[in-house]
Amino acid sequence: MNLNQIEAFLVLSECLSVTETAQRLFCTQPSISIKIRKLEEDLKTVLFERVNNRLFLTPQGTIFKQYAIQIMNLIKASREHVKQFDNPLHGTIKFGASNFAGVYLLPKIMAIYKKEAPTVNLSMDISTSSQLIQKLESQELEFLIMSDHIYIDAEKYKLDTFLTDPLVVICSPSHRLAKIGHCQFSDIESETFLIKPEHSATRDFILSRLEEEHKTLRNVMEISSLEGIKQGVIHGLGISIVSKLAVLHEIRAGVLCEIGLDDMTFSRGIRYVHHKDKYISPATRNFLSVLTKQSNM
């Protein structure tokens, strides 16, 4: 087995055409067929099958594809890290972030880091938690930044919490509690709460925190976008519980008001996550150092 064979397998598994694979890799069709045959001989299995003159991955091929992707991503990462030993101010950092971190926390951090390392390329993938974890597993991303409420296997991954993220109750300036500025949860439990739909990590955190205090939300309106929730609160659709970092500008501008809760708090940690046995490149170490320092200022 060699890298050329794995590369040919991955391209063929995507386009399912020997002709197109040969064109993409700038080689002949017979050479592609030979690479695939030798790979199958090495693995002692069949990776592709033809049905009605159409090419398909076998179940064994589907399984091997997951490992092939990891192998190629590791090779790319190793080349990148070796380059950075000569100059840690060059290279590429690829990481993933939850929607909250990617939109409201990291752009500022990235801008500060780019001033220190202008020639380092930054690539941030904002996706769902499950998608990010899958990409970290396949070595597509070096690390993730997400809430500590999301389950991550601590036996497999290194988890470092670098920021405490308080969540606050927000309302419109015309709300009855806006001028008072604080209340008991019982004062708002009958309000309409704007909240993200099921499978949202923030929603899960809020509901679990309420369950700990034996409290519930009686009336909810689901809105899938945090920006949509903020606009809904501004226009009086209801109130919400969101990260304070996500509404700082609106609170300062006076279009949203924060209501302090006297009898409970919502607070979660934000952490970065990477494989325990993964080598962290010099450029990435510098970025994480800036992240930790700036987040606590």
pLDDT, tens only, 222-239: 999 999 999 999 999 999
Do the Cβ atoms of 261 and 185 come closer than 8 Å? yes
Strand blocks (E) in 239-283 = 240-243, 257-261, 266-275
Strand blocks (E) in 62-140 = 91-97, 120-126
What pLDDT score was predicted for residue 217?
A: 92
Distance of CA 166 to the CA centre of its chain: 20
Tokens 């909810």 belong to 220
What pLDDT score was predicted for residue 136?
A: 92
Give 237-271 pLDDT, tens digit per residue.
999 999 999 999 999 999 999 999 999 999 999 99
| Measured CA angle at 130 (ends 57, 81), to 5 deg | 80
Hey, what domains does the chain have and what are their CATH numbers? 3-71 (1.10.10.10), 87-163+269-295 (3.40.190.10), 165-267 (3.40.190.10)
Alpha carbons 172 and 117: distance in angstroms, whole number: 41
Per-residue burial over 6-28, b = 16 or more CB atoms within 10 Å of its CB, e = otherwise: bbbbbbbbeeebbeebbebbeee
DSSP reduced 3-state for 161:
strand
The DSSP call for residue 185 is G
Alpha carbons 130 and 96: distance in angstroms, whole number: 11
Distance of CA 215 to the CA centre of its chain: 30
Alpha carbons 194 and 64: distance in angstroms, whole number: 44
Mean pLDDT of 63-85: 82
Q: Which amino acid is at 231?
A: Q
Burial of 58 (0-12, 13-18, 19+ CB in 10 A): middle
The DSSP call for residue 104 is I
Q: Is the pLDDT of residue 97 over 90?
A: yes
Q: Which of 53-67, 76-90, 132-146 has the lowest mean pLDDT?
A: 76-90
Q: Is the pLDDT of residue 3 over 70?
A: yes
DSSP reduced 3-state for 103:
helix
What pLDDT score was predicted for residue 74?
A: 84
% residues pLDDT > 70 (the chain): 97
Provide the pairing of β-strand 91-97 with 143-147.
Answer: parallel
| Predicted TM-score (pTM) of this structure | 0.72
Percent of the chain as helix, strand, coil, to the nearest 5: 45, 25, 30
